[in-house]
Amino acid sequence: MKMGRFIVDTHVHAQRFAAGPGLKKENLDAGSARYNDLAKVIRHLEAYDNSPRLLYDMECYDVDMCVLLPAFGMSNELNLQIMENNPGRFVAVCSATETARKAREEGIEWTAEAAAKELDALLATGKFVGTGEGMPANASSKRTVGMTERLDQLRPIMEVVQKHESVVQVHSGVVMGYPLSHHYWPETLNPIWMADMAVEYPDVPIVINHGGLQGWWSERFYEECLLLAASHDNIYLECGFYWAELYEKPLLDPNIGAEKLLWATDWGASIPFHSQPGHYPSSYPVQKRSEPLPRHQVDMWGWSLKQLLKVQCTQDDLNLILGGNAARIYKLEVPHTRLFRPIGKHLNPQEEGRITYAPICC
């Protein structure tokens, strides 16, 4: 039985890297390379179209649509090509990839204003449903970035997204394999910083990538993200890497509920799962630093959907998590109206096809 009426994974990477050549340039063997080795070369690798495996998994798990994200050397252009080749299956968010490339390869100074200008042009095409993964940042920086400076970098991005009535994604959580510091994406270690952005831009939907749980067993960032979602109407949490018990708090919270959760798994990323039966949690996603890189396509959907099978909630709530909230926030085409219980303002029953209501209501 299909788990929901309309299933959307809102965090998917349909592009993949062939790491072998890049690792070879660093005199590293692809068979024994670790995540730290991959981190040295990943931004210089050329991504390829991995959508055949993605489409296979979509059929296996009855996933209707995916939101494609570029990250770490992936391109907006290839995501658009994948969309065009598969009408109705994909939408995409965009990132300021050209600004990042110029800073990395041409030595041009990275600025938030340049990144915002690039995003402005991309969103103006009407081909993208938001920005992500995460907020643009200076990948070449080697100095610590504090809260005041980083929020000043985010404001030009927020203004562009506000102008286009679009959606912004902010990264959170730690995947454990790659080195992480306050040089790049300091908000991933401090998701609570986004409270200021939510207050200053209340009409901009802010999606917290991973909902504080990208990998590992710690619930520290998860708790901060729950605080954000409960205290701001425009903050939503990706939850695809939550193990079953983590759904309980947001579903019980009267200021969060099913309507603030988005099923999003990071499909396509190299994040395996660690199993520890008899312990809490019994399994969880994490990059294992002492082991070689996984060579296979990790089955993220199988693990994630099995976690949701354990969650005790109504099917209408599950339908919101699995696709209804995504349709509302990203304004997706859906097969029929009235598939999902209304949130806030009721959907006009005369509407057909495209959902066109405001991002934070139904």
Per-residue pLDDT of the chain (362 residues; tens, 9 = 90+): 899 999 999 999 999 877 666 666 656 666 667 676 666 666 667 789 999 999 999 999 999 999 999 987 799 999 999 999 999 999 999 999 999 989 888 989 999 999 999 999 999 999 999 999 999 999 888 889 999 999 999 999 999 999 999 999 999 999 888 777 888 899 999 999 999 999 999 999 999 999 999 999 999 999 999 999 999 999 999 999 999 999 999 999 999 999 999 999 999 998 999 999 999 999 999 999 888 888 889 999 999 999 999 999 999 999 999 999 999 999 999 999 999 999 875 343 333 344 433 333 33
Using CB atoms within 10 Å of the CB of residue 296, give its burial: 0 to 12 exposed, 13 to 18 middle, 19+ buried: exposed
Question: Which of left, alpha, beta for 161 (phi over 0: left; psi -120 to 50: alpha)?
Answer: alpha
CA distance 277 to 256: 30
CA distance 16 to 295: 12
pLDDT value for 177: 80
CA distance 65 to 352: 19
CA distance 79 to 161: 20
pLDDT value for 40: 63
The arrangement of secondary structure in 8-330, i.e. its CATH architecture, is Alpha-Beta Barrel (3.20)
* Angle (CA) 126 132 135, round 5°: 120
pLDDT value for 72: 78
User: What angle, rounded to 10 degrees, do the helices at 147-163 and 112-124 form?
Assistant: 20
Strands 235-238 and 206-209: parallel
Whether omega for the bond prior to residue 277 falls within 30 degrees of 0, making it cis, is: no
pLDDT value for 206: 98
Q: Token pair of 345, please?
A: 């303002």
pLDDT value for 37: 64
* Angle (CA) 67 13 62, round 5°: 60
